[in-house]
Amino acid sequence: MITAQRVLKAAGKYASRVGLAIRSFAGAPDDRHCPACGSDIPGFFRYGDARDWGCPACGSSPRERLMHYLLDKGRIAVPNGAAVLHCAPNEGSLVRRFRDAAGDYVPADIDPSRYHVAGIQKVDLMSMSDMVRFDRIYASHVMEHVPNDALVLSNIARALKPGGEAWLIVPLWDRASEDGGSDLSGRERERRFGQWDHVRQYGLDFADRIAAAGLTVEVIAARDLPPEDVGGMAIDDVLFRARR
């Protein structure tokens, strides 16, 4: 669905990108760094309310850069030859990175037609029947779309091998999680949860929902990373690292 909100965000993003290109042409120093593509850049372009959002070289988002940073540092890892389920594989840099490391890379979505990713499969997390199959499951900005998140989290837990990890990122606010009923209109969802197809908004208590599925949770927040390390990378968001 194209909404006025989306059009405005896209227009702002374009204007901000053009501004960056002009600054760069005018000799602004490339004193910032993108861990997703390795480029040194003059800054990040705006997206909606987020001032430092996208990398002008590769388009990476703050959460995409968080993942690359953590992988670069070895805080998290894809074991060699691992079986990796990559849900909603929008982020091209992570598709490449996971595919290179994994022995069995499975990009998947409930609607595979939305992706140009080789080998994309149809997987409905609500009825996923895979058991003890994956070493890593990555789902960024997926859980706020699924009708029953308790069911999906237990399916994810079952699909992980012992010692396997799910890496989950969701949009967060600074209040408790709130679920919307299935009868909410798209407009009402956009008003309450920020986007027409989000059925809930999470707070940091998302960790409790993951734990209720029997997984051990580590919360890795961008704001807790050493500033001397991540200073110029415009990294944001929170990774919920869930271990079986």
User: How remote is the C-alpha of 184 from its chain's centroid?
Assistant: 25
Looking up tokens 């691992």 gives 82
Stretch of 4-12, 33-41, 112-120, 226-234 contacting Zn ion, by CB under 5 A: 33-41
CB atoms inside a 10 Å sphere around CB 96: 11
Stretch of 11-19, 29-37, 74-82, 98-106 contacting Zn ion, by CB under 5 A: 29-37
Q: Is 168 helix (H, G, I), strand (E, B) or coil?
A: strand
Shortest distance, position 104 Cβ to Zn ion, whole Å: 27
| Residue 96 and residue 64 in contact, taking contact as beta carbons nearer than 8 Å | no
Shortest distance, position 58 Cβ to Zn ion, whole Å: 3
Q: Please state whether 14 falls in left (phi above 0), alpha (psi between -120 and 50) or beta.
A: alpha
- 37 near Zn ion, judged by CB under 5 A: yes
State the number of binding residues for Zn ion (CB under 5 A): 7
User: How remote is the C-alpha of 211 from its chain's centroid?
Assistant: 20
Q: What is the CA radius of gyration of the chain?
A: 18
Structure tokens at 45: 């372009």
Residues 48-87 that bind Zn ion (CB under 5 A): 55, 57-58, 60
- 217 near Zn ion, judged by CB under 5 A: no
Shortest distance, position 101 Cβ to Zn ion, whole Å: 19
Stretch of 2-10, 35-43, 139-147, 195-203 contacting Zn ion, by CB under 5 A: 35-43
- 36 near Zn ion, judged by CB under 5 A: yes
Shortest distance, position 34 Cβ to Zn ion, whole Å: 3
How far, in Å, CA of 174 to CA of 179, rounded? Answer: 15
Shortest distance, position 84 Cβ to Zn ion, whole Å: 22
Q: Footprint of Zn ion on this chain (CB under 5 A)?
A: 34, 36-37, 55, 57-58, 60
